């Protein structure tokens, strides 16, 4: 009985805000030498809104800002669906979003599209707000930095995603890094032969992972995609960030994550 109570308290009060900073390499084939050693921080699934504590997000933002990263990328679900974008709490929190010294980029997640994930105007509005804060939103668009191309794909469950258009964008841009919220995108017939990394979120790392159950929360078709790195066909690699926020304050064996990548030549 005591162990059950302790486990419940841990998964409710401790782990949901016990952030793990994951440091790992990001090897990119043919990476220009002036990018080697640069840092890229990935943040995902912030879920600002009625459930996630504002002070917790602000502490996480300030931690990342203190790292002085070269690049910062956001892989969707900035808010929880249905949250009022004009809310003063949201404005106050997002004024402190960490930015990269050389660039800050983001993509929308399913929650940006409202309660039924079909409110395209809501995603547009949030994207404009984030752009004004310094986050370049990549919505089926690419940014060509000198020696490094980053492509953003609109959310798979949203109103804008189109397989043929996305395939064309990837073929033209041949990105080194692809940002997309939902990792199921890596299984679609849109990828060319060029090796690239896909950085995703969406899964919350399963949120609660038990020895006899893979996870309690896993909103993907390919349930192999939970968290961490995956080798995909044709030399492509996927990394799934466990996210900072949650829809219910409950995590077990799936701590919230800030990922700090160190760029290397592949």
Alpha-carbon gap, residue 232 to 249, rounded angstroms: 32
| Cβ(230)–Cβ(224) below 8 Å | yes
Supply the pLDDT for residue 258: 98
91-133 pLDDT per residue, tens? 888 999 999 999 999 999 999 999 889 999 999 999 999 999 9
If we measure between CA atoms, which residue out of 140, 91, 83, 139 comes closest to residue 114? Answer: 83
| Cβ(26)–Cβ(263) below 8 Å | yes
Alpha-carbon gap, residue 121 to 198, rounded angstroms: 26
41-81 pLDDT per residue, tens? 999 999 998 889 999 999 999 999 999 999 999 999 999 98
**Domain coordinates in residue numbering, the chain:** 2-265
Task: Check whether 35 has a pLDDT greater than 60.
Answer: yes
Residues in CB range of 28: below 8 A, 6 or more apart? 35, 148, 176, 177, 197, 263, 264, 265, 266
Supply the pLDDT for residue 249: 87
| Cβ(80)–Cβ(49) below 8 Å | yes
* CA distances, 87 to each of 61, 114, 258 (Å): 19, 15, 26
186-230 pLDDT per residue, tens? 999 999 888 999 999 999 998 887 766 666 678 999 999 999 999
> How far is C-alpha 154 from the geometric centre of its chain's CA atoms?
12
Supply the pLDDT for residue 2: 53
Averaged pLDDT of the chain = 92
Alpha-carbon gap, residue 60 to 54, rounded angstroms: 10
Question: In CATH, which superfamily holds the domain spanning 2-265?
Answer: Metallo-dependent phosphatases (3.60.21.10)
Strands 257-265 and 177-179: unpaired
| Strand arrangement, sheet containing 71-75 | 20-28, 257-265, 39-43, 71-75, 103-107, 136-137
Q: Kindly tell me the burial class for residue 58, based on how many C-beta atoms sit within 10 Å of its own C-beta (0-12, 13-18, 19 or more).
A: middle
141-170 pLDDT per residue, tens? 999 999 999 999 999 999 999 999 999 999
Percent of the chain past pLDDT 70, that is, above it, reads: 94
Alpha-carbon gap, residue 14 to 30, rounded angstroms: 42
């Amino acid at each position: 009985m005591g162990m059950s109570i302790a486990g419940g308290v841990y998964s409710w009060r401790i782990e949901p805000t016990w952030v793990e900073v994951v440091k790992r390499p990001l090897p990119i084939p043919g990476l220009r030498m002036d990018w080697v050693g640069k840092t890229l921080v990935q943040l995902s699934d912030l879920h600002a809104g009625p459930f996630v504590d504002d002070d917790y997000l602000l502490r996480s933002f300030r931690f990342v800002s203190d790292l002085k990263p070269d690049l910062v990328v956001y892989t969707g679900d900035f808010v929880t669906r249905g949250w009022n974008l004009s809310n003063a709490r949201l404005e106050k929190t997002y004024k402190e979003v960490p930015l990269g010294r050389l660039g800050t980029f983001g993509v929308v997640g399913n929650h940006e599209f409202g309660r039924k994930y079909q409110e395209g105007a809501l995603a547009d509005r949030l994207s404009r707000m984030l752009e004004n804060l310094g986050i370049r939103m990549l919505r089926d668009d690419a940014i060509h930095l000198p020696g490094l191309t980053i492509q953003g794909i609109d959310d798979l469950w949203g109103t804008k995603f189109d397989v043929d258009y996305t395939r064309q964008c990837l073929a033209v841009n041949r990105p080194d890094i692809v940002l997309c919220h939902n990792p199921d995108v890596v299984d679609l017939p849109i990828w060319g032969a060029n090796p690239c990394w896909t950085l995703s979120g969406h899964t919350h790392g399963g949120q609660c992972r038990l020895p006899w159950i893979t996870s309690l929360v896993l909103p993907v078709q390919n349930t192999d995609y939970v968290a961490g790195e995956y080798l995909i066909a044709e030399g492509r690699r996927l990394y799934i960030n466990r996210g900072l926020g949650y829809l219910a304050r409950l995590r077990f064996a799936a701590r919230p994550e800030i990922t700090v990548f160190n760029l290397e030549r592949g």
